[in-house]
Amino acid sequence: MQLITTIAAMRTARAALTTVGFVPTMGYLHEGHLSLVRRAAAESAAVAVSIFVNPTQFGPREDFARYPRNLERDLALLGDAGVDLVFVPAVEEIYPPGFGSYVTLPAADELLEGAARPGHFRGVATVVCKLLNIVQPTRAYFGQKDAQQVAVVQQMVRDLNMPTTIVVVPTVREPDGLAMSSRNSYLSPEQRAIAPLVYQALLAVQARYQTGECDAALLRAAARTLLECTPAMSIEYVSVADPLSLRELETVGAEGALVSLAVRLGGVRLIDNLFLGR
């Protein structure tokens, strides 16, 4: 496994390879990340992973400075997983003095995570665009856990004619249903004990849908009712949206729906989602 920190060295290493599967991450790796890596390894001759906590996707009051980091452990996990290239650039390598171009998707900023986190998707789209230009992968792998991020990246790649195929990988969960996330490390034992309610709320919506309920307001209410029983948890949003446009639905039709939600548990923000009708 080659550890690379400069764009020039990454380009040289990539040029020697044929098909490359690429997994962009912010590090502090868990089984969710590793499922992307394994999928990439199964589908490409070589696997590249980036570890970069991207400052431009964090708001001024968000957790950039305290985002969990453990490079040594991450490198050991990626070495065991048979990764070929690990790209770990410094912030100045990606955003040198004079940097001034951004990729924006204004429609995404109005919805869900985009509305809750102003500027987040500008940062995500910009860094993913840069990483895809630097690594030039055949395929790039993203987790369903971040459903709107997937939609943003797919739209950017389509709109800007980027030659990489985007592959979406299912959410990996803890045995109690909590979606794996680097941010789960922020949870106190008490918070960790109630965090699985997030997934239970999604399952409550699914159960209601499976009984024949298609009224989106009643489906949202099924999640809210469960979450509101836990005072420690505050709801940011519960969404039942069109799976392509991510606009809120009144009725779930043949196209199904993406159910997604964000809650705060103390200072920790948790998101999760599932599809109805697939």
Q: Does 143 bind ligand AMP (CB under 6 A)?
A: yes
Residue of 182, 184, 239, 260 that binds ligand AMP (CB under 6 A) = 182
| Residue 214, both tokens | 């298609």
255 touches 243 (CB < 8 A): yes
Is the Cβ of residue 68 or residue 256 nearer to ligand AMP in the bound state? 68
The nearest distance, CB 140 to ligand AMP, in angstroms, is 9
Is the Cβ of residue 32 or residue 123 nearer to ligand AMP in the bound state? 32
Is the Cβ of residue 168 or residue 194 nearer to ligand AMP in the bound state? 168
Residue of 39, 120, 145, 220 that binds ligand AMP (CB under 6 A) = 145
Of 97, 105, 143, give the one whose Cα is nearest residue 125.
105
Sign of the four-CA dihedral 179, 180, 183, 189: positive
Residue 56, CB-side half-sphere exposure with 13 Å CA sphere: 21
Sign of the four-CA dihedral 124, 126, 127, 133: positive
Q: Within positions 2 to 61, which residues make up the interface with ligand AMP, using CB under 6 A?
A: 25-26, 32-33, 35-36
Distance CA 105, CA 120 (A): 11
The nearest distance, CB 29 to ligand AMP, in angstroms, is 8
Give the residues across from 248 on adjacent strands: 241
Active site residue 33: yes
Distance CA 82, CA 215 (A): 47
The nearest distance, CB 191 to ligand AMP, in angstroms, is 18
Q: Within positions 197 to 256, which residues make up the interface with ligand AMP, using CB under 6 A?
A: none
- Residues near ligand AMP (CB under 6 A): 25-26, 32-33, 35-36, 142-143, 145-146, 169, 171-172, 179-182
Residues with catalytic roles: 33
